[in-house]
Amino acid sequence: MSQSERHAPGHALVVGGGTMGVGIIAMFLGGGWKVDVVSRSASTRDGLPEACKGALAALGKPTDTSGLVTYATLPEASWKTIDVVVETVTEDLELKRHLFAEMEKLAQPGCAITSNSSSFPISEIAKDLATQGRMMGLHFFMPAHLIPLVEVVRSVHTDVAEAERVGEIMRSLGKRPVQVKKDVIGFLGNRIQGALMREALWLIEQGGRSIRAGTRPAPLPRSSGPTSPTPTARRRSCSATSTRAASASRPSAASSSGTTSRSPRNGRATSTRCASAWRSSRKKAFCRFVS
């Protein structure tokens, strides 16, 4: 396949029309691709054109969704012309396995079948299938249409040339693909983020950095899966703990001296409690990175 053919707009199928799906659909539409979308939800299918227009506008692209066609089931899609599939359904391993088994039967031999999962290795999703050479992870980061990074994750069965072809497609769409050559849990981005967060929380607990009550920690880039709680959830957890700690350390209004004083320990206790609450909210996520 020539370089011009690799970069020419093609035909994609996105399975799932949720938040991640909308961003991925917009990425393809913005690159001039035709996009089929399969979603069981009628309300999701009906709302996709407007949702995609908003994502295209954020990209600075024309809000033309004429290349978008939606379906309720996989067999309805235009499989004869589809070049690449991106599965974005909920993080349910059995559901993903069922979809991959069905798509393997429907897709043309030259069609790459990928999963946006951030929780399950592609080797587990595609386990026991006959054409694992064309199957790989394609992990985007939220919001998928704006964050340049995308991870192309190979299993031991993935054809290297096919993974590189998918990477070139992503590059032609304005992404910065990274070839993940080993199918490890968490891939690259999530593992690095987890390591940085552990170090940051350790520094807070050691008194190297404080978080004042009522302030908001800087939000982290979010991945698509359950390994990344929303910034809102993190802020609520931290803010609530800080407020409780600050209230507990505040002197009584009926002070015998009629004055109030601040103890340096109060700020450190607040920071430590905040860090502990934040770490607890991410405990399940971190266990993926240290296992």
Beta-carbon contacts of 275 under 8 Å, excluding residues fewer than 6 positions away, are 201, 204, 205, 211
Q: What is the DSSP letter of 124?
A: H
Residue listed under structure tokens 């991640």: 20
CATH architecture of 3-180: 3-Layer(aba) Sandwich (3.40)
Q: For the segment 82-137, what is each residue's pLDDT rounded down to a tens digit?
A: 999 999 999 999 999 999 999 999 999 999 999 999 889 999 999 999 999 999 99
Structure tokens at 281: 């909210």
pLDDT for residue 286 is more than 90: no
Q: Which residues are catalytic?
A: 151
Domain ranges of the chain: 3-180, 191-290
Model confidence at 12, in pLDDT bands (50, 70, 90)?
very high
Structure tokens at 79: 């499989």
pLDDT for residue 205 is more than 80: yes
Q: What is the mean pLDDT of residues 151-164?
A: 96
Q: For the segment 65-85, what is each residue's pLDDT rounded down to a tens digit?
A: 999 999 999 999 999 999 999
* pLDDT at position 70: 98
* pLDDT at position 234: 41
Q: Confirm whether pTM is higher than 0.85.
A: no
Q: For the segment 225-247, what is each residue's pLDDT rounded down to a tens digit?
A: 444 444 444 444 444 444 443 44
